[in-house]
């Protein structure tokens, strides 16, 4: 007996799309999420969704039934479950990454961390042949992008969460980078204490604890607090990384992090006062927000 995947007429799916977009607007959710969901569930491309050309098709195969799709969409609107968790994946840089509520959903602005790392390796090519670490790797996004950008480098991904590491390893295998990255469970540098590093990149928890309940419900209720909570002032993890990284970075090695708007001057002061860094810079994201800090080990 062959299992037949669920299917629906193009017209039925178009009617579902129209209704779902109206519901999205009413719930103050971006209606583009409906199209993103249909790309995943019905395999439709952006153009056919925009032109609505799919509605003339007599039959469209779906990964799940229309009833299940409706149920998932209800979860999105009522429980504020992020659409990326609903479909179990997200697009980041040029990758399609598996995600679950065990990992933070990689954000577009974090892609700029990779561009900053690439710029530093262009200026100092020898760094691209050394060892790099992504601390708090989560889905593995940063480690994967570094492995892709620096084919001669040795890559490490570290996370305290075993569930997160399982997803990171799965993503590395799916993208054919499984043999390029060594994943380690533990706190920050501890699992790779023997390494001398050319670069450290991190998107650490940086939200002040009392602000987490005020974040969008999609974030506050569904994304892992382990990846958000930066302590009382949001700087606990960054403070630690400033303090201990010089023990692991080689001379001339890169220190590079993402931070929250409003933290730049505090981070700059931490780096300056530590005494082991030079060429300390604050970088803005595409919106002009001071989002990243970089430095070199003396």
Q: What is the pLDDT of residues 206-229, one digit of tens each?
A: 999 999 999 998 898 888 898 999
Average model confidence (pLDDT) across the chain: 93
The structure tokens listed for 129 are 């042949």
**For range 85-95, the mean pLDDT:** 90
Give the position of tokens 């994967």. Answer: 144
- pLDDT class of 1 with cuts at 50, 70, 90: very low
Buried b / exposed e across 58-89, counting CB within 10 Å, b at 16+? eebebebebeebeebbeebbeebbbbbbbbeb
Residue ranges, CATH 3.40.50.150, the chain: 108-297
Cα of 273 vs its chain's centroid, Å: 30
| Sequence-ordered list of residues with C-beta below 8 angstroms from that of 63, at least 6 positions apart, any chain | 5, 6, 40, 41, 42, 43
Q: Which CATH number fits domain 108-297: 1.10.150.20, 3.40.50.150, 3.20.20.10, 3.90.228.20?
A: 3.40.50.150
The DSSP element (H or E) to which 283 belongs, if any, is strand 277-284
**Those residues with Cβ within 8 angstroms of residue 78's Cβ, 6 or more apart along the chain or in another chain:** none
Per-residue pLDDT reduced to its tens digit, 180-208: 999 999 999 999 987 799 999 999 999 99
Report residue 3's pLDDT band, with 50, 70 and 90 as the boundaries.
low
Query: pTM of this prediction?
Result: 0.88
Mean pLDDT of 75-104: 91
pLDDT of residue 279: 97
Q: Is the pLDDT of residue 262 over 60?
A: yes
C-alpha torsion sign, points 58, 60, 61, 66:
negative
The residue behind tokens 């005020």 is 214
List b or e across 262-289, with b for residues whose CB sees 16 or more CB atoms inside 10 angstroms: ebbebbbebbeebebbeebebbebeeee
Reading the block at residue 223, the tokens are 């994304």
Torsion of CA 235, 240, 243, 246, to 10 degrees: -120
Sign of the Cα torsion 28, 29, 30, 32 reads: negative
């Amino acid at each position: 007996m062959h299992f037949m995947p669920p299917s629906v007429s193009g017209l039925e799916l178009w009617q579902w799309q129209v209704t779902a977009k109206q519901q999205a607007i009413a719930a103050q959710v971006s209606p583009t999420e409906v199209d993103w969901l249909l790309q995943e569930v019905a395999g439709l491309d952006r153009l056919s969704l925009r032109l609505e050309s799919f509605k003339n098709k007599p039959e469209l195969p779906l990964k799940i039934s229309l009833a299940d799709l409706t149920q998932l969409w209800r979860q999105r609107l009522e429980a504020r479950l992020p659409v990326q968790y609903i479909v179990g994946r997200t697009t980041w840089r040029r990758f399609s990454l598996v995600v679950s509520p065990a990992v933070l959903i990689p954000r577009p602005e974090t892609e700029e961390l990779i561009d900053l790392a690439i710029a530093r390796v262009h200026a100092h090519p020898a760094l691209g042949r050394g060892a790099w670490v992504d601390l708090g790797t989560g889905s593995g996004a940063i480690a994967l992008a570094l492995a892709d950008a620096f084919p001669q480098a040795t890559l490490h991904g570290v996370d305290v969460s075993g569930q997160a590491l399982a997803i990171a390893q799965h993503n590395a295998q799916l993208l054919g980078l499984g043999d390029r990255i060594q994943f380690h469970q533990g706190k920050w540098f501890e699992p790779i204490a023997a390494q001398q590093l050319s670069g450290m990149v991190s998107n650490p928890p940086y939200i002040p604890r009392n602000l987490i309940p005020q974040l969008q419900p999609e974030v506050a209720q569904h994304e892992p607090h382990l990846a958000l909570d930066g302590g009382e002032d949001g700087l606990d993890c960054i403070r630690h990384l400033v303090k201990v990284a010089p023990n692991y970075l080689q001379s001339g090695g890169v220190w590079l992090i993402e931070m929250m708007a409003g933290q730049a001057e505090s981070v700059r002061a931490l780096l300056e006062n530590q005494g082991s860094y030079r060429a300390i810079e604050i970088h803005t994201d595409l919106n002009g927000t001071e989002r990243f800090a970089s430095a070199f080990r003396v």
